[in-house]
Amino acid sequence: MKLASGYKAFWAAAHKNYPDQTKSGGLLDQGRFEAMNSVVNADYSDRFAKPSSRGWRSSIYPWIFPINRSTKVGALALTYKGLICIKTPFDLALYARLIWELQPRTILELGSFQGGSGLWFADQMSVLCDQPGEVHSFDVHTKCIHENAKHPFLTFHQVDLTDVSTFDKNLLTRLPHPWLVIDDAHVQIFSIFSYLSGLLVSGDYYVIEDEPIRADKEIIDGLQLVQQLGFMVDTYYTDAFGNNVTCAPNAWLRKL
Ligand SMILES: C[S@@+](CC[C@H](N)C(=O)[O-])C[C@H]1O[C@@H](n2cnc3c(N)ncnc32)[C@H](O)[C@@H]1O
């Protein structure tokens, strides 16, 4: 697994160069790092789950940080380079991991707000991806995008997501894969999903933020549709910090 390669390399270098320190009691005694080992080298072959097989239990509610203001951890995560970026610290960590693992050539963000999150995605892509990619961010209120939300990989588009025909299909069909789609606009999420899922290929990811937290009939029916369209929940991401500790519970979706 790509995520474990750095860990393996570290221990290979330690055993080769500092064999005395890798013995029991040494500073590089691998046994002392067993917890890390069990996480990094775990067998994740069963990580993909059908949406219908998942419950809605969540170890903690990730938005608890900014809402009750008992800590500034959430507040720190809500800006990026001075711009609003409405992501929890958990989700920022998960996206960074996914971008490195997936190596997306295209990131589509639905819901730009001030442009801070699009800028964050573009910066992450530029440092984590071997090949340059593109971030396309869509919103109806594009005049709120800050002039500092500029990046050579990042383009903003004005689209009313209540009408999927306003997407530029020529643009979408030319964008290279793998894709990472993030729906953070909260409008007609499953009709947009139906439309865009037809353009996704095997291995692409689609994350639906915030709305699945409702776990009501609309969401449960919608995730049934997601399953019928050939997507699985990647529990490596939904459950990385505990069950569904993410603003996209059961909604880190990978196309089969
Ligand atoms: C939660 S905010 C996006 C937050 C941003 N992605 C971030 O992480 O900082 C939701 C955005 O969806 C946009 N939006 C709402 N309705 C829309 C529509 N019908 N079409 C396009 N964008 C819409 C709003 O203008 C708003 O900027």
Spell out the domain ranges in the chain: 4-37, 51-255
Say whether pLDDT at 194 is over 80.
Answer: yes
pLDDT of residue 222: 96
> What is the Å distance from ligand 1's center to 84 Cα?
12
Strands (E) located in 37-151: 48-49, 79-80, 83-84, 106-110, 134-139
Pocket test for ligand 1, best of 85, 119, 161 (most atoms within 8 A of CB): 161
Name every protein residue with a CB atom under 6 angstroms from any ligand 1 atom: 84-87, 109, 111-113, 116-117, 139-141, 159-162, 184-185, 187
> What is the Å distance from ligand 1's center to 140 Cα?
7
Q: For the segment 109-136, what is each residue's pLDDT rounded down to a tens digit?
A: 999 999 999 999 999 999 999 998 999 9
For residues 41 and 225, the model is more confident at 225
The candidate with the shortest Cα–Cα distance to 91, out of 134, 62, 112, is 62
Say whether pLDDT at 80 is over 80.
Answer: yes
Strands (E) located in 85-147: 106-110, 134-139
Pick from 33-42, 99-108, 154-163, 178-187: least confident = 33-42
User: Which overall architecture, per CATH, does domain 51-255 show?
Assistant: 3-Layer(aba) Sandwich (3.40)
Are 230 and 196 a contacting pair, CB within 8 Å? no
> What is the Å distance from ligand 1's center to 53 Cα?
30
In angstroms, rounded to a whole number, what is the distance separating the alpha carbons of residues 163 and 227? Answer: 23
Q: For the segment 161-170, what is each residue's pLDDT rounded down to a tens digit?
A: 999 999 999 9
122 token code pair:
């573009």
The pLDDT of 181-190, averaged and rounded, is: 97
